[in-house]
A and B are shown apart, each in its own frame.
Chain A
Amino acid sequence: MVLQCKDLVKKYYSKTAVNGISFDIDQGKIYALLGPNGSGKTTFMKIAAGLVKPTSGTITYKGNQIGPVTKERIAYMSTEPFFYNYMTVADVGKYYKDFFEDFDEKRYEELIDRMELNMKDKSKTLSSGLAAKLKIAATLARKAELYMLDEPLNGIDIIARDKIVTTILEAAKDDVTLLISSHLVDELEKIIDNAIFVKNGNIALMGEAEDLRVKHGKSIVELYKEIYA
């Protein structure tokens, strides 16, 4: 188990985003965090990334409280672009190199090439598709232990999706864990080991994808439709 959380709650002014989630994540597997917008996926990831403190409950990564130590090993990518406006693609790489020891510059250059980005491009002026690719390149150029990707296929056209999926799969190794959220369940179906269905800040269903398919006699896509219909 790498990530463990127990009775995790996050309340905001008008609503409860995460409502008592408890689960563990095992090393070396690819997890899908599934659910419609507003189900609590993003808030959960932000808690694990250390961007939001839970209202109550506990969360640890390999026994450590979320903090500088875990931030060194967990790479989080948010749905929205988050780079400073002044930054070029090259600046983003320098920033990551300055702050993350596991950042691999060579890999970054390679991914920037693959994504057909230019080092001189300003992050502010990128189209939404290219901005999404830049986030993926920067995040996956880290040699992190746990990657949390929030909607990595958002804004990516169908042609480029294969590239993104390949890049994500290249990061998967025996000692590397991935947690990917998406509402494009179809795209995740074939690459995941485990699925976690989140509904109204709680877990509706979770388990190994293959077990779920056998047990319910349905694909993950069909299960998704059934749970959120």
Chain B
Amino acid sequence: MEFDNNIPIYIQVIADIKKDIVTGVIQLGEKLPSGRDLALKYQINPNTANRIYKELEGEEVCFTKRGLGTYVTMDEEKLKSIREEMAGTLLDNFIAGMKDLGFKKEEIIKIIEVKYDAKSF
């Protein structure tokens, strides 16, 4: 994974894990790699990897079973809220960018409709 040095690494990895959960690469309830293995997977500092799990636990995206490891939450609602949160972030950035370019709300909606139909996503 390519990192952007201007954004803290743990935030980038958290976003990547959340994306994997939303897209189903990681299933709900699935066991996540250990802190050390996560560090190796992303080639990041092991202490940063531990911090990532701590943050994800704080957000209740995952939980730790003592002595067994870290697991993704079983809560479907959580999945939905992550999905919405990520969409929200994207939209916020998009709308802010379009506003900067001087687009109005109606123009933005229209341009989305045209673009979306023109491209076969």
Q: Chain A residues in contact with chain B, CB under 8 A?
A: 28-30, 162, 165-166, 169-170, 172-173, 186, 189-193, 210, 213, 219-222
Contact = CB atoms under 8 A, between A and B. Distances in A.
Interface residues on B, range: 10 to 19
5 contacts: A172-B45, A173-B46, A190-B9, A191-B44, A220-B5
Contact of B43 (A29, A191, A193, A213): A191
B39 A213 contact: no
Interface in B30-79: 36, 39-40, 42-48
A175 to B, nearest CB: 12
Interface string B1-33: 001011011000000000000000000000000
A189 B5 contact: yes
Contact of A219 (B5, B36, B40, B44): B5
Nearest to A220: B5
By DSSP majority rule, is chain A's interface helix, strand, loop, or mixed? helix
B40 A222 contact: no
Which of A190, A192, A210, A219 has the most CB atoms of chain B within a 10 A radius of its CB? A190
B5 A170 contact: no
Nearest to B10: A210
